[in-house]
Amino acid sequence: METVRTRPDGGPGSGLAARLTRRQDVAAAAATGTALRRTMGMWQLTLLSVGATLGTGIFVVLGEAVPDAGPAIVVSFALAGVTALFSALSYAELAGMIPASGSSYSYAYATLGELVAWVCGWCLILEYGVSVAAVAVGWGQYVNELLDLTVGVTLPDALSAPPGAGGVLNVPAALIVVLAMVVLLRGAKESAVANVVMVGVKVASLVMFCAVAFTAFHAGNFQPLFPLGAAGMSAGAASLFFSYIGFDAASTAGEEAKNPQRDLPRAIILSLVLVTALYVLVAVAALGAMPWQDFGGTEATLSQVLVQAVGGGSLWPILLSAGAVVATTSVVLTVQYGQIRILFAMSRDGLVPPVFSRVHAKSGVPRANTVIVSSFIAVLAALVPLGSLADATSIGTLFAFALVNIAVVLLRRRDPDAPRSFRVPLSPLVPVLGVVCCGYMLFSLGTDTWIAFGAWMAVGLVVYRLYGMKHSKLNSAPEEQS
């Protein structure tokens, strides 16, 4: 594979264009990162992705998305799932080739060059960090709901809502981020065990919800299916893409997988299929049990659906609220893990400060990285409302996914004979469809979201120019051309 690198003596490869497009060699990228411990098998990787994905859209965002699409929200889930599937196939191919901790950032570095890799990594920081904060906000909502259903009291708004949403500080949201940090500091193996238990609880909770909700099912709630038109369905799909953030979490564990070339592609695809099937099933049950007009925002949780379906004195809403608390805990834990590993990879390449890639000798965990990231996310969760967080996460995710699909096409052309443990079927058609679907949903997002994203990317480019470009490890690498 051709690798362009900058010469430290200002030679032919040191022009600005060459510096921005220099790439890591695929083999070198796959070989890096021996400091992390390989402790995860295929099912642990699958459940890591399920843990990072399952629960976010169903438990947190569903109430906000239904008013955009009406009963067509079921189709919105399927559309978002198909879009995610195109990207998941591309992730699977690249994860088998480049089993590094940086996920799509590492893939972009090996195929599209350093500048695009930085942009992708900066998008991932937005995607993962804001996603954790958003789910932490949802966790606080379910804690309040559980308290209300069990003891009849709730936390005061001043301590359970951010400024602008009737409160001063969202203490529960910050608390769950800190608790996840404590678990992550113990090590990847311990975190994976905790996640397995929580995934089991959340799956059981959603199956229970479906069983109960279907007893109050009314087919008439789906008439008409598209009350807000195709535009409403598309807007719902764009918002619900937030629900699929996390299927790529296994790819951030590339350096902690026992057999990454074999297990990473399987884990990514299997987790997405499981999550999509359960999302659609739960959406059908929820809309069948409660008319879409009654979904008025984040207060229209699945527990409230059960309250309307079977009555407030029932045990089922209490059990579901408890399951939702566990479910969102799992998402916070696993997505926070992914954020830390992405910054670890960027730091090891020199694009962010070295403190993020220092690994503790005893635990095998990047401790300083974990504490810094968790502290930032805790502050974000305490101060920013859910809706703004969810939309900002979706745009960063869609942008990163589009880059992964492009990377597959380029790498097939540039290095067609490289070993691949999984190959995207019908390439380049499937990756191109992935780019088109991501682009379609990107432009379904609101203007305010695009403005915020543009500001975030502008800040990122300034950081890259002032720090990343100067400290990149490729600055000291000899120029190679083949």
Task: Note whether 95 and 260 are within 8 A (CB).
Answer: yes
Confidence at residue 458, expressed as pLDDT on a 0 to 100 scale: 93
**Collapsed DSSP state (helix, strand, coil) of residue 40:** strand
Q: Residue 440 is encoded by which pair of tokens?
A: 């379609």
Pick 29 or 273 by higher pLDDT.
273
Confidence at residue 466, expressed as pLDDT on a 0 to 100 scale: 92
28 falls in which pLDDT band (50, 70, 90)? low
Q: Is residue 370 over pLDDT 80?
A: yes
Confidence at residue 9, expressed as pLDDT on a 0 to 100 scale: 35
Task: Note whether 408 and 427 are within 8 A (CB).
Answer: yes
Confidence at residue 104, expressed as pLDDT on a 0 to 100 scale: 81
478 falls in which pLDDT band (50, 70, 90)? low
Cα separation, 53 vs 389, whole angstroms: 16
Cα separation, 358 vs 148, whole angstroms: 44
Confidence at residue 6, expressed as pLDDT on a 0 to 100 scale: 38
Cα separation, 141 vs 56, whole angstroms: 13
Where does 217-337 show beta strands of DSSP type E?
none
Cα separation, 106 vs 123, whole angstroms: 13
Cα separation, 110 vs 363, whole angstroms: 29
Q: Is residue 33 over pLDDT 90?
A: no
Q: How many CB atoms lie within 10 A of CB 11?
A: 12
Task: Note whether 84 and 272 are within 8 A (CB).
Answer: yes
7 falls in which pLDDT band (50, 70, 90)? very low
Q: Burial, 318: exposed, middle or buried (Cβ in 10 Å; 0-12, 13-18, 19+)?
A: middle
Min mean pLDDT across 244-258, 400-414, 457-471 is at 244-258
Min mean pLDDT across 221-230, 295-304, 350-359 is at 295-304
Mean pLDDT value across residues 236-241: 78
435 falls in which pLDDT band (50, 70, 90)? very high
With a pLDDT cut of 70, the percent of the chain lying above it is 87
Mean pLDDT value across residues 20-29: 65
Confidence at residue 35, expressed as pLDDT on a 0 to 100 scale: 59
Confidence at residue 462, expressed as pLDDT on a 0 to 100 scale: 94
Pick 394 or 93 by higher pLDDT.
93
Q: Is residue 268 over pLDDT 60?
A: yes
Confidence at residue 389, expressed as pLDDT on a 0 to 100 scale: 61
Q: How many CB atoms lie within 10 A of CB 31?
A: 12
Cα separation, 334 vs 154, whole angstroms: 27
Average predicted confidence (pLDDT) for the chain: 81
Confidence at residue 4, expressed as pLDDT on a 0 to 100 scale: 38
Confidence at residue 260, expressed as pLDDT on a 0 to 100 scale: 80
pLDDT digits (tens, 9 = 90+) for 301-360: 777 788 777 776 678 888 888 888 888 888 888 888 888 888 888 888 889 999 998 888
pLDDT digits (tens, 9 = 90+) for 150-194: 888 888 888 877 776 677 888 888 999 999 999 888 877 777 788
Cα separation, 229 vs 75, whole angstroms: 12
Confidence at residue 348, expressed as pLDDT on a 0 to 100 scale: 86
10 falls in which pLDDT band (50, 70, 90)? very low
Mean pLDDT value across residues 282-306: 79
pLDDT digits (tens, 9 = 90+) for 84-121: 888 888 888 888 888 776 778 888 888 888 888 898 88
Residue 37 Rama label (left phi>0; alpha psi -120 to 50; beta)? beta
Cα separation, 334 vs 132, whole angstroms: 9
Task: Note whether 128 and 334 are within 8 A (CB).
Answer: no
Sorted by where each starts, the structural domains of the chain and their CATH numbers stand as 40-475 (1.20.1740.10)
Q: Residue 354 is encoded by which pair of tokens?
A: 């070295």
Confidence at residue 3, expressed as pLDDT on a 0 to 100 scale: 39
Mean pLDDT value across residues 290-311: 75
pTM recorded for the entire structure:
0.78
Q: Which long-range contacts (CB under 8 A, 24 or more apart) does 347-351 make?
A: 348/32, 348/33, 348/473, 349/24, 349/102, 349/109, 349/472, 349/473, 349/474, 350/468, 350/471, 350/472, 350/473, 350/474, 350/475, 351/114, 351/118, 351/121, 351/464, 351/467, 351/468, 351/471, 351/472
